[in-house]
A and B are shown apart, each in its own frame.
Chain A
């Protein structure tokens, strides 16, 4: 496969079995993003949080993802190896339903930026500080995403129309088309 015009995907592989719950990842992320850099620390400002439940033996590092304006209506509960995770445990969203991934003073959403900075860091800081190797940085090349095949869109839109009726769907498409943005 020719990946010459592909892009690099930065991934952090999280091995929850290796996490010792030290929260060093939180400390360094918050400190790295402090202004001026390293001038303060505060886990509440970290873009990685370790979801913990000592008595259930849950230590789950979660990265801050996208902001969401509204919480989910339906939720899922995962039980893995006898550990019952909280409904929102795996979710990366900065969401009104919980207080993580928000600046504590302004409530502005936080998002992991992979420590993007100038000069670039060799590895994200949380990974560097996780000597337990629960967090491992991986980069890989992938081909550029193709535009979705038209008939997929057809199928999706039809499904929507079935539920909501065409007038509503068209209205929505019209409204959203103009506000679409990248990222």
Chain B
């Protein structure tokens, strides 16, 4: 008997219109857990480096985590993977909401989609029964709209739907896959779905999901809930409200946006607006939010409420929103919250990523202002920035005129436009748009995270270690007092000694050695989450979360029946992380690609940065070009990777033999 997982994947070949229920290899669960880990293994085996993003051979994988759907709070993630059209690398985007649990109850751990349907279709997974259905009548419709029509067509209001909008259908490089209050937004997975002519996946399940050691597991679930309750009542003192609690940033309920609006940058990630947050703005924006937000919304089995139903027209819920998408359109267009919440409704229906889309639109406006693009590129566009954003959104999702160029994202568009446009695509890592944030002094921890995080998104690697030092020793001492989350006591010392100014401050402190450990720890927690299927908001993302490296082994073990202790979980996670690295190395990624946006910090330290990267690669068991060594691969039972690296000349035979 398999516990926590179903032991079955649904393999769908859209070219042939066929599907198959496949028993998965239990050893893969032992070695890669589930979610991201087993997605990566599948991709390694089946999607070679020659496979282009828009090839029928690219796989689109909807993989639930090992514990997804279990009673452990917030285990609700579906990890969507494919080769990204934008980065051409292995992409994984974590989708919350209700899809994952439903898929498990329908009898599958993953849906693995290959091929390309001749016409637009959707997949209907009804409790183990599968049907590929015509979706031509949904062409061009919005993501939520489609979901609703599918529920009606199937006559079942409890069906969960993940769908794409116009952006995905038209293969916009930053198209998202939307699923009610959640989405898989980053890295253009919606475009892969559109390329496969797959409008949506609808799922409904009524099957049991088993737990290996029931009473023990439930004990841990209750502990987690009690801790969450306690932690919600006791926000961490001395930090910004946005990072004081649990969950993803509580954008839907926090009204004070001084930190984001004054420290993050506006427009095409350019303008810092010190003093923006006045009393009038505070009142106006609070009014906007209170007026438009009709309800706070949770994901499956999670007591946090990071999402919200937003009403921008006569409907009580026009769409659902979460997180920082509250501000990205507002800040991109240099406008206000009322505009941001309204355009986000259209953007959500079209299905675009709320980081990349506004950034790309602001980039277009900048190119116009710089004379690189001209009136001829924007026939009939309005004068004011808000109108221009609507115009741009519409043209991008339809890939019409200049919209077709911009639909490739800032990097791709700059390549196509030429004329110096690349200087305006300044906020990318590995061709992927980043948070609009520009800072002064290089922070060594963030330098490594930005450079090497293969989710290519800072929020998916940062988390458990405070972002900045606390001002006083007394505050730091208070903070480390109840900090059982750290792997060992050294981490507390590093934090205690970390000062805002002087010798023990950034960029030279934490030391190179400590920085490697801190980054590794934070990344490890994300990889555990993405494989277990828990929301980062209750584990790797916030300070002092309910789940951590010391309780995960017993929770995962009681749920899944795997034999795990702290050491073996760390080892397993390292295996998963290394395999993700290997996938991208096989696709050509190297040290040259491991860098933050050039202008992320004003003050850079090339020598220190080199030292950091050298030390971190060594710490990870990678060679100086960022390639995992034979020794590392062997230690992690990834000899099959090493063999292929040697065969392809990625590792030299003698290097491999060493």
Contact = CB atoms under 8 A, between A and B. Distances in A.
B73 A21 contact: no
A37 B214 contact: yes
A77 to B, nearest CB: 15
B303 interface: yes
B220 to A, nearest CB: 11
Interface string B309-339: 1000001110010000000000000000000
B316 A39 contact: no
B295 A57 contact: yes
Q: Which of A17, A36, A44, A83 has the most CB of B within 10 A?
A: A44
Contacts of B206: 42, 44, 104
A41 B70 contact: yes
A39 B218 CA distance: 9
Contacts of B54: none
B202 to A, nearest CB: 14
Contact of A57 (B148, B207, B317): B317
B591 interface: no
Given A40-B208, A54-B181, A131-B225, A22 B299 contact: yes
A38 B209 contact: no
Contacts of B210: 39-40
Place the interface of chain A in its size category.
35 or more
A53 B302 contact: no
Nearest to B219: A38
Interface in A123-175: 129, 131-132
Q: Which of A44, A54, A83 has the most CB of B within 10 A?
A: A54
A57 B309 contact: yes
Contacts of A24: 73, 301-303
A131 to B, nearest CB: 4
What is the interface of chain B mostly: helix, strand, loop, or mixed?
A: loop
Contacts of A83: 316
A131 B71 contact: no
Given A27-B71, A56-B316, A104-B207, A131 B303 contact: yes
Interface residues of B, number: 43
Nearest to A103: B206
B296 A20 contact: yes
A105 B549 CA distance: 39
A156 B208 CA distance: 47
Given A20-B296, A55-B148, A40 B211 contact: yes
Given A23-B98, A24-B301, A57-B317, A40 B209 contact: yes
A43 interface: yes
A37 B216 CA distance: 11
B229 interface: yes
Contacts of A178: none
A52 interface: yes
B309 A132 contact: no
B148 A132 contact: no
Given A39-B214, A40-B208, A132-B305, A56 B317 contact: yes
B99 to A, nearest CB: 13
A22 B247 CA distance: 14
Interface string A33-63: 0101111111111000001111111010000
Given A22-B300, A22-B303, A132-B305, A41 B295 contact: no
Given A82-B316, A104-B207, A38 B214 contact: yes
Interface string B101-138: 00001000000000000000000000000000000000
Given A20-B298, A41-B71, A131-B228, A57 B316 contact: yes
Contacts of B300: 22-23
Contacts of A59: 295
Given A57-B316, A131-B228, A31 B303 contact: no
Nearest to A37: B214
Given A43-B105, A52-B157, A82-B316, A22 B298 contact: yes
Contacts of A37: 214-215
Interface in B243-271: none
Contacts of A82: 316
A65 B210 CA distance: 27
A89 B279 CA distance: 44
B557 to A, nearest CB: 15
B635 to A, nearest CB: 37
Interface in A2-34: 17, 20-24, 27-28, 31, 34
B316 A38 contact: no
Contacts of B297: 20-21
Given A55-B144, A57-B309, A132-B305, A21 B298 contact: yes
Contacts of B286: none
B320 A54 contact: yes
Contact of B105 (A28, A38, A42, A56): A42
B149 to A, nearest CB: 11
B188 interface: no
Contacts of B217: 38
A44 B208 CA distance: 9
Nearest to B212: A39
Interface string A78-90: 0001110010000
Interface of A: 17, 20-24, 27-28, 31, 34, 36-45, 51-57, 59, 81-83, 86, 104, 129, 131-132
18 contacts: A20-B295, A20-B297, A21-B297, A22-B303, A31-B218, A34-B208, A40-B210, A44-B105, A45-B208, A54-B180, A54-B320, A55-B148, A57-B295, A59-B295, A82-B316, A131-B225, A131-B228, A131-B232
Given A37-B214, A41-B211, A132-B303, 5 more contacts: A20-B295, A22-B301, A39-B214, A42-B208, A44-B105
| 7 tightest A-B CB contacts, nearest first | A22-B298, A38-B214, A44-B206, A131-B303, A40-B208, A57-B317, A104-B206
